[in-house]
Amino acid sequence: MTGYAEPGASRDGYGDALLDMAGDDRVVVLEADLGKSTKSCHFRAEYPERTFCLGIAEQNMALVGAGLAESGKVPFASTFAIFSERAFEQFRNGIARTGLVVHLCGSHGGMHTGQDGSSAQSTEDLGIFRTLPGVTVMTPSDRNSARALTRKLLDHDSPSYTRTARNKTSEIYTEEAAESLEIGKASVLREGADATIIACGVMVERALEAAEQLASNGIQAGVIDMHTIKPIDREAVIRAAGTGAVVTAEDHSVIGGLGSAVAEVLSEESPTRMRMVGVRDKFGESGSPADIMEKMGLTAAAIASRVEELVS
């Protein structure tokens, strides 16, 4: 693997990973006219004979991926997260139902997308794909984790959906640390006895900021990066319940996403006081990522406030 000068966005990590895996002739890349945005363009530039540009046709892209998987290839397909929803029926019936291993990446997910506005801010994608039997669902927190987790899909035995972000985030993992990540196993970033914050995607950075704020007020909150929403790490969720207070944080609707997944585990295994930080049953609007995240309550302060409610 080669390195790079600055952290970048998780979509950059996806593009990095495609090049990392290029030595395996089974890897093929599919695009829906958005290779420059999803960063699959770098693979296309070097391996045009293994890249399929299908235009604005996500439904067709999904089924072409199924055909390639049936032929022994490992297809990596990408588009915007919002447009991945166009292909839901084809992904369901042509890929998930048949058990064919196709990996779909949806870039520009969530409110963090910012100026693209409500029509492009997918806040339901993780929940939609989480409903499909046998489908792995991931949302990495930074460039390095996106790179490492995407590379591990090469030998993954089930289809997957991965959400990446448009904008740069802080480096949560070094390249070396990211290599230890495992699909389906949560990453504990900070220990804390008073409460646990379970976050995913761009909200992991905010969860760590919230934990720092809480520590200055005498509250020790642990932070877990739940990069794999499905299969969720049930043991990690149950351990988190041991602190007696759980707060989830996601740039996604609280309906069907990380908060729902954690609540499902807790309700069955260890009923625990919990709160959810996420999008509250509404569409977004156009604005800077910082302004939109603030308006939607997707901030470190909002996470800290939820923790304080439970602890107090």
3 state SS of 142: coil
Q: Catalytic site residue 58?
A: yes
* CB-CB neighbours of 131 under 10 Å: 13
**Active site residue: 6, 46, 58, 171, which one?**
58
CB 105 within 8 A of CB 38: yes
CA–CA dist 255, 276 (Å, integer)? 10
Report the DSSP beta bridge partners of residue 223: 190, 197
Instruction: Give the C-alpha separation, 199 to 205, whole Å.
Output: 9
251 within 8 A of 203, measured Cβ to Cβ: yes
Hunting for tokens 């590379």 — which residue is that? 151
Distance of CA 296 to the CA centre of its chain: 19
Q: Are 213 and 300 in contact (CB under 8 A)?
A: yes
285 dihedral zone (left: phi>0; alpha: psi -120 to 50; beta) = beta
Active site residues: 58
